[in-house]
Amino acid sequence: MRPSNYITCGNVRVAHYRFLECGSSQDIARDLNDEGPAAVSCDSMSRGRGRLGRRWYAGRGGAWVTVSARLPPGSAQSVFPIAVGARLAEWLRRRYNVKVRVKWPNDLVIEDRKVGGVLIEAVTGEVTRVLVGVGVNVANDIPDELEPYATRLSDWVSNVSPEEVVEGIVCSVMAALRDVMEGQRAILDLWRELSATLGREVWVVFDEGELRGVAIDIDDEGALLIRTDKGIQRVLVGDVIHLRPA
């Protein structure tokens, strides 16, 4: 399979495979054998999925893309999801002047309504690759039942195209990879600056149970620190629900 084109991110060229329709960009990217970084985008997906196996509605007009790249051993892998969210929010804010913030760990929100999400999976073998699936609502339809909780870039800015957003996503993911490979811990401060979660009362649901408290910080591994009646609790994996308005 030959790339449709290449996306240039600084001094890195990313092979880009574009499809008009697909089941899941994540599944196509999983089967790629590119030695260098590659991206798969689909104008629409019939089997889009998000974190925790949730369905992601991915109709035409949105930006749906998976980036496949190597993550060298020794990289700050636990920080990578935080870095992806921070770099995506940073690019969207800079490019479109819209106040995108990050809900832990890497959901993208505008005024507490979700505009984008991230799914990160690892492919192990001789070389470990990460598949970074990103979906951003640009000008696509949103199901009626999700309208109170979701939004689109086109609701906030004009002249925004899915193609441009796809390129921005790819380069944001590459920037996040560089952050963790080079040990740039400043990415944690960027996430804190753009966070929609810190200072909020939250309810966290995870496999072992649930907890409720106030999100006060993230640690050096990207874990969310929550002040509860039983002290500070550390959360690495879980579904965070904001309870108190910002």
Domains assigned to the chain? 5-194 (3.30.930.10), 201-242 (2.30.30.100)
Assess whether pLDDT exceeds 90 at residue 84: yes
What pLDDT does 33 receive? 80
Assess whether pLDDT exceeds 80 at residue 245: no
Task: For residue 127, name the pLDDT band (cuts at 50, 70, 90).
Answer: confident
Task: For residue 206, name the pLDDT band (cuts at 50, 70, 90).
Answer: confident
Question: What number is the average pLDDT over the span 94-122?
Answer: 96
Assess whether pLDDT exceeds 70 at residue 185: yes
What pLDDT does 52 receive? 57
Task: For residue 230, name the pLDDT band (cuts at 50, 70, 90).
Answer: very high
Of 93-97, 180-184, 236-240, highest mean pLDDT:
93-97
What pLDDT does 244 receive? 66
Assess whether pLDDT exceeds 90 at residue 119: yes
Task: Please give the model's pTM, rounded to 2 decimal places.
Answer: 0.94
Question: What number is the average pLDDT over the span 140-161?
Answer: 93
Measured distance CA(11)–CA(151) in Å, rounded: 33
Condensed to tens digits (0 to 9), the pLDDT of residues 28-74 reads: 999 988 789 999 999 999 877 766 566 778 899 999 999 999 987 76
Q: Judge whether 204 and 226 are in contact, CB under 8 Å.
A: yes
What pLDDT does 196 receive? 97
